Structure formats: C-alpha cells, structure tokens
Structure 1
Amino acid sequence: MAETNKQISLQGSRDQSFSTLEDSGWSEVPVVKELSDWEFATNYRDAMRPVLLRDGCAAWKACERWSPQYFEEIAGSVTVPVKTLNRSEIKVSSWRLADYARFVMEQPPEGYGASSNARADPYCHDIPLLGLVENLAEDCQPFPANFLDPSYRSHWWRYSQFFMGPAGTVTPLHFDTLLSHNLFFQIYGAKQFTILPPSQAKCCGRRGWRWFDVDPEQPDHVRFPQYEQATPAVVTVCAGDILYMPPGTLHHVRSLSTSISFNIDFHTDRSVLHALAHANNGMPTEVAYYNAITALAVIAKMPESVTFPLYRPYLSYVS
C-alpha cells in the first residue's frame, strides 16, 4: 500500500504554452516501497503522475561507496563544469573534481533547513560524470532500465547527469528544458523538492523558456498574487530513494545536507512528440534540435551509434 508524503490537490487550468499532457489528475505524491515495471509505466509514466520509490536504489553499492571523498579518490583528475546560480544568471567555472570534492567536504554537512536563504555556493550540477567514468555504472545495480524508453536502456549511464554539492545549495523553480520525463536517484544525503504540475506555471512568474521567479519557500504574494492559487507538493528525497517527475513538472530543489545524486531525462514517443509540437512556443533552438535528435532514436528507431554523438552535447548544455 502506498503511503503519502504530502496529500494535496494539484488541480488547475492548463497553461497552454506548454502543458497539454494530463496533469490535472494529481491529487497526491504517493510514496511506494515496491514498483514493478508495469506499475511504473501504467500508473505513473503513462498517467503523468509523480511518484517516490522509497529505498528504490538503497541496495546499490553506490549508496555505500559514493561520497565526496570517494570521487576525490577515483575521479579527482576529471575536470568538471561547476555552476553558481542566482535568479538572474548562471556562472560556469572549471574545477578538478578533487578540488571540488575537497571544497564540499569543508562546508557544514547539514543544518540548512527549508526556511534558510539560498546559498550561492559553486554547485557541481548537471554533468555527464557517469558517461565520463563509466565504471561508476557498476555501482548502480540492479538498475531499473525498463522504466526508461527502450532506446535508453542499453547504455543508460550515458544519458545521466550528476549532482554533488554542499548543504543549502538551491536550484530555483524550473522545468526540465526538453519537456522530458525525469528519473532522479538520490545516493548520498537528502534533498527537498517542491513540485507543481505544468498547469500551474501561470501562477509562478515565468521567465524565459523554463525558469520561474517565484520562490516556493518564501513566496512574494504581492509580486505574484496568482501563486496563492498554486498547490505545491513538498517531497523529501533521502539517500536510496528514486523520484519520478512527469514532463513539464516545475521543481525547486534544496540540498538539506551534503548531497550526491544523478538523474536521467528521457523521452517516450508521446512526450517527444508533445515537446516537438512546442518548438515554436518559446523553446530555444538548441532544445528543439536535441528533441529532434531524440525523436530519431525514440520514434524512428535510428541506432544509438548515430543519435548519441549528436545528443551528447545536451548533457553539458546550460540553459
């Protein structure tokens, strides 16, 4: 039986700019202990409903091994882009992973609650580390590859994006730029997600293609009076948990402690067609291009040897 992390209504009229997928049926974010491939596909992925799989990856060696010290030791020479985010821009700098891991270890390990101000610490955010150090995938078994579209399953780690950072780092409210499904794996530490369905984007002060100016933790109802109509769900994702978010889900993410995680943005034929239909709706040209490449893999079934080299730059794309 599912337990509920937070039972709240996520009803609302659709934001026609990018939401035509079914999101009005969200009434809760269920927390489940077991999830078969069929149940995931039928009840969540195809139904466009979020779900938290408690301890879904807790048995992985990654949950025993991965830490800032571990990455300093096994991949310290790798150069990674590190981002400093604020509400107006993203600054990117290059770090040796060993240097960044030591920086993280020097920060307080926890103690920044949801009411704390966002920290502008450098954040190792959205990097294809598992594709650069492929033996890391061996720490992530058994991997639920069947949750993904078949075109991603053989080399799922190539499509992953890695996150490591200190407590208190925040990614402001946004949706994933490709309008893709998001399968998120928390390995070390904990994060707090505040999520809203695409239909409530109109309440959140949209800026550009995928960013929003509302701070769900401290909303300014004078500046954004419509946000009073929004019904955000707050989900704490702990080490060993898997979170699934449907395409277009708005999410604000805070690291509650030193944190290591990764996710996979993936499309199905339905979601990539939906994304392509919005290519002229403010979607950046580069994003439309990566969605077109994905459609060749997912719908046209072109071989990965052809499509992945074209898709690979997306994994380091800053938008």
Structure 2
Amino acid sequence: MEDHQNKNKIYKAFSVLSEESRELYLLGGIREIKNEITPLIFHREYASKNLPVVIRNGVQHWPAINKWSSEYFRRSFPNKLVSVAVTPNGYADAIGEKSVNGVSEEYFLMPEERLMLLPDFIDSLDKPIENSIFYIQKQNSNFNEEFQELWQDLEKDIPWATEAFGKIPDAVNLWMGDARAVTSMHKDPYENIYCVISGEKTFILHPPTDLPWIPYKQYKSGYHKEVSPGKWIIKPNKELSTGDFNKHVIVPWISVDPLNPDYERFPDYKNATRLEVTLRKGDILYLPSLWFHHVRQSHSCIAVNYWYDMEFDIKYAYFKALETLCEPNN
C-alpha cells in the first residue's frame, strides 16, 4: 500500500512538473527571430533558460547557401571519398527488429558505414535505390575531418553563440541525404546550433521535463549489413572489451516513434509536450542540450551543425535527479 502511494505521489509530481513547464516555461511553442540575434539576447532569453529558438535566414549570408548543389559537388570533388551511412529503411541509430529462430526481437541498430566517392553518393540521391538509403551523418566532427575544402563557404563557428557560451565548438558536422533518412528520437549533451543550407528539416522536440513520459528500454545492439544488392541482414554487436564474444552490447534507447506512437504500449507518452518546427534554406535552430528531438528531411537536404559542449550545471543535476526517479517506471 505504501509503495503504491509513493508511486502515485511521484506520478503526480511528474504531472505537475510537465504542466508548470508547459504553462510557465515553454509559453506555447518555439520562438522565432528574423535574420540575426545578439550574444546578449541569445544568452539572456534562450541559452540561460535552455529554450530553443529559430533564427530565420540566420545564415543567408553564407556563400554555401547559393553555391552548394549536386552539380557543384560533382564538378568540384570528382575524386573525394566520404563516409556514408547506409541502411535498408532510412533509420540509422534506431530501434529495429531482428528475427531470431522465428521470434521477432527489438534491437538498437546502427548503419553500415561505407567509403564512397562523393559523385557516387550524389548519384544515390538523384536516382534512389530501393532498399539502400544513403546518408552523410557521421558525428565525429566530419566537417573538419572530411570537408575542409568547404570552410571558405561558411563560418568556423557561430559568432554570437561562441561569445555567449564562452567557448568554440567541440564539433562541426555535415548532414546530407535522402528524404527517406530519418533521425530517431534522442537527446545530446551538447548545445546544438543547426543550420540548413538547402532543402528542409523538420524537428519534433520534447523538453527535458518530459523525461517521465519518454519510454526508454535497454536493447541489444546490432548493425545493418548488405550481403548482396538489396538483401540485408542484422549482425549483433558483441562485448569485445571483456573478451566475452557471446555477450551483447546493450544500449539504452527511446522506444517510441513520434511519427506513429503506440499508445497502448506507451500510454504515458500522451502526456508529452510536442513542439514541431520546419527549418528552410538559410534558417538556424538553437537546440538546447538535453532536449529530445526527432528529425526528418526533404530530398537532398544539406545542413551543418555546431556542437558546443554543455555546462554540467544545475540543469544537469536536476535532469539526473529526474532520471533517477524515472528508473522504476522505465
């Protein structure tokens, strides 16, 4: 009886947190600013409050906006090798199913990674291949690692963000891919400045205070492998560091698909605050650290994002406390 009462109290506290956040903190949606923002306003109104904001046409002045195209990349980089994520369904780093002895089991699945000539990658976008979806999405500061020739077309940082955060970006990543490529719901320990060069990106966002309603599970880890054209298998990741080759690598990941939520399995997800915004050519999104986000895109969309390391301050302490309270329910 006492345990039941305690669970009810915790659930009520979660509900109060969501309601108060929605009414007092989120104030109806994602703010938008046109063209530019100052470091002071960015820090005072958004970064310090861990609130997202869209700056429309914020990078419209970059040469990349009018320069980067399929034709430009083909012409300028005919022999350039790039790292590409390939999947049969467009979902890299996401939950998928693997059949084991006729029984379906959910796995956390990573993409097959390939080195491709950039023109061949462009061809995969212009003439999509069934059951093979290509996406440049390697999150290891791949812009610095693989696309240094393109620095002249944009800025090495976002000046107003660098001044507000008091640091330079930890990583700069380039994203380019098929409209079928989708980024599953997750969160990052970074302050994310996301800039769209061409096409559109649509973000579904949940604030960190929604953690009680976001279902996590522990999944065996695996990766996609194409064994012949159009034929894919799933290979498990094994625990190599311990020498136990029969032990699966386990990954905690979000179970729900916000595009098609299964409310029978995850009824609490109905309580989540859903914010949605579409970025177009030249737009910027400030995506604060620890915000949950899901991303889809238009065909041949190109984007660059700057990751600034988050401060492990009181918001992180609060989030970890909330995470601990949520553990029995996940």
Question: What is the aligned counterpart of 1:140 among 135, 151, 154?
Answer: 154
Aligned residue in 1 for 2:166: 150
The Cα offsets for residues 43-77 of structure 1, whole Å up to 9 and x where unpaired, read as 11111100000010112111111123333343442
Tell which deviates more after alignment, 253-262 or 91-100. Answer: 91-100
Could you tell me how far apart the structure 1 residues matched to 2:23 and 2:191 are? Answer: 13
Q: Which residue of 1 aligns with 2:181?
A: 169
Q: CA deviation at 1:41?
A: 1.2
Q: Structure 1 residues 35 and 205, CA, compared in 2 at 3 Å: closer, same or farther?
A: same
Q: Which residue of 2 aligns with 1:45?
A: 47
**TM-score, length of structure 2 as denominator length:** 0.66
2-structure distance, mates of 1:205, 1:50: 22
User: Counterpart of 2:37 in 1: which secondary structure?
Assistant: coil
2: CA distance, partners of 1:98 / 1:146: 35
Question: Does 1:130 find its partner at 2:143?
Answer: yes
Larger Rg: 2
**Structure 1 letter corresponding to 2:208:** P
1:103 — aligned with what? 124
**Structure 1 residue runs of 4 or more that deviate by more than 4 Å after TM superposition:** 11-15, 21-24, 270-273
Equivalent in the alignment of 2:223: none
In structure 1, how many angstroms separate the alpha carbons of the residues matched to 2:76 and 2:23? Answer: 42
Are the aligned partners of 1:12 and 1:200 in contact in 2 as well (CA < 8 Å)?
Answer: no
Residue of structure 2 in register with 1:36 after alignment: 38
Distance 2:303 2:255 in 1: 25
Superposed, 1:1-319 pairs within 5 Å as: 25-27=25-27, 28-33=29-34, 34-75=36-77, 76-84=79-87, 85=92, 86-87=94-95, 88-96=108-116, 97-107=118-128, 121-127=133-139, 128-132=141-145, 133-141=147-155, 144-148=158-162, 149-152=165-168, 156=169, 159-176=171-188, 179-208=189-218, 211-270=253-312, 274=316
- One-letter amino acid of the structure 2 residue matched with residue 260 of structure 1: I
1:272 Cα deviation (Å)? 10
Using the TM superposition, give the Cα deviation of residue 270 of structure 1 relative to its aligned residue in structure 2, in angstroms: 4.6
Distance 1:272 1:255, change over 3 A: farther
CA–CA separation in structure 2 for the residues paired with 1:78 and 1:123: 14
Q: Is the 8 A contact 1:180 1:272 kept in 2?
A: no
2:221 paired residue number: none
Query: Comparing 62-71 with 246-255, which one deviates more in the overlay?
Result: 62-71
Tell me, what secondary structure is at the counterpart of 1:126? coil
Aligned CA RMSD, in angstroms, stands at 3.3
Structure with the higher fraction of residues in strand conformation = 2
Question: Does structure 2 retain, via aligned residues, the 8 Å contact 1:120–1:169?
Answer: no
Q: Distance in 2 between matches of 1:233 and 1:95?
A: 36
Amino acid at match of 2:26: W
Aligned partner letter, 1:243 = L
Contact 2:125 2:134 in 1 (8 A): no
Letter matched to residue 30 of structure 1 = R
Letter in 2 for 1:239: K
Q: 1:23: Cα distance to partner?
A: 11
Which consecutive unaligned segments of at least 5 residues does structure 2 have? 1-13, 96-107, 219-250, 325-330
**Change over 3 Å in CA distance of 1:44–1:68 after alignment to 2:** same
SS across alignment from 1:151: coil
**For the residues of structure 2 that align with 1:264 and 1:144, how far apart are their CA atoms?**
8
Q: In the alignment, which residue of structure 1 is the partner of 2:6?
A: none
Contact 2:183/2:295 (8 A) holds in 1: yes
